[in-house]
Amino acid sequence: MQKVSGLPSKLDMLLKASSLSRVALAHKVGVDKSLVGRWVKGSIHPGEHNLSRLTAVFQDHFAHLTLADWYLEEAEMAERLGISRRSLDKSPNEVCADSPFARIAEASGPELALRAECYEGFWRTARPSVLMPDQVFHDYGLFRRREDGMMEVIMEGAGLRFEGWLFPMSGNLYVFLFDPVGRTPLIVLMKGVSLPRAISMDGLLLLSALDGNRTPAALPIVVERLGDLSGDRQADDEAIRRMVDEKPEPMDPVPSDRLREKLYADVGPAAKDAGKDLFLIATGALSRGTTQAGLLG
């Protein structure tokens, strides 16, 4: 079989254009996720069978894709499939220059420039699930400043990968993510910290559950710092995958009883009469920071 010239770049283009994660693609093709990673890096080339399987998977997103299209020049392949390569690499404020989303990015710019180091790092989430309400789920990932000034968010867990952006504004953090499996957005609003280095934060997660009705739900969420970035993007990306497998503990874990109390908060009129909250709100009770010397607050 003739090898495809520039396959890593073409595969990366199709992944972005179809909003598929490497994990999701591996599941659909029927291979280990590490193999997809090696294809994207170019360290190994898929055989004829797997290239055929890749074609079949991407045909769900690009109906006219054929095996022969892989052998076209990347620009020609993109044009045939109706993909704008340039748009895939733009930050949100470039893609939607006149949109409300761009104004969010612009408004958060000064605070992001001032507070980026506070939030950059590896993080673990703790959140309940609509489908399995008694189980606490964890996602592992990072908050990372890009060269264009945007703060990207990557989280993986339970076979899912979420990617998006973080915007700090008025002491709160607004996170917009995309779920490639449910093909819907997720929105997280968290209470930020005032000290130089965030250790944990609590907030609210708004999503469409993966049940048959795609039930809209608002759930509590807590994020806890796992460590600091190395500065090597590839190494940090690989660290996420190790964390998903190894499930490390946070640097300064929230006590389990306080964590469950937050994730399963009792709210409503009866709760209010008992001195609790009427609505599901993020009070910032678990949002903690530290100074460079390690003093918590």
Helix, strand, coil shares, percent, the chain, to 5: 35, 25, 40
Kindly list the structural domains of the chain, giving each domain's residue range(s) and its CATH number in brackets, ordered by start: 7-88 (1.10.260.40), 92-290 (2.40.128)
What's the pLDDT at 1? 74
Find all residues with CB under 8 Å of 114, minimum gap 6, and list them: none
Average pLDDT estimate for 271-291: 90
Say whether 144 sits in a helix, a strand or coil.
strand
pLDDT at 294 over 70: no
**Of 185, 147, 145, 148, nearest in space to 168 by CA:** 145
pLDDT at 88 over 80: no
Average predicted confidence (pLDDT) for the chain: 89
Average pLDDT estimate for 83-108: 66
Across 130-134, 175-179, 249-253, the highest mean pLDDT is recorded for 249-253
What's the pLDDT at 90? 54
SS3 sequence of 262-282: HHCCCCCHHHHHCCCCCCCCC
CA gap 112, 174 in Å, rounded: 11
Give the orientation angle of helix 22-29 with respect to helix 33-41, to 10 degrees. Answer: 110
Residues, the chain, total?
297
pTM for the predicted model, two decimal places: 0.68
Average pLDDT estimate for 208-225: 92
What's the pLDDT at 182? 78
CA gap 12, 15 in Å, rounded: 5
First to last CA, the chain: 61
What's the pLDDT at 296? 57
**CA distances in angstroms from 109 to 102, 150, 169, 216, 234, listed in the order given:** 11, 8, 9, 30, 26
Q: Which region among 81-90, 159-168, 194-203 has the lowest average model confidence (pLDDT)?
A: 81-90
Average pLDDT estimate for 66-78: 93
pLDDT at 84 over 80: no
pLDDT at 86 over 60: no
What's the pLDDT at 134? 86
pLDDT at 190 over 70: yes
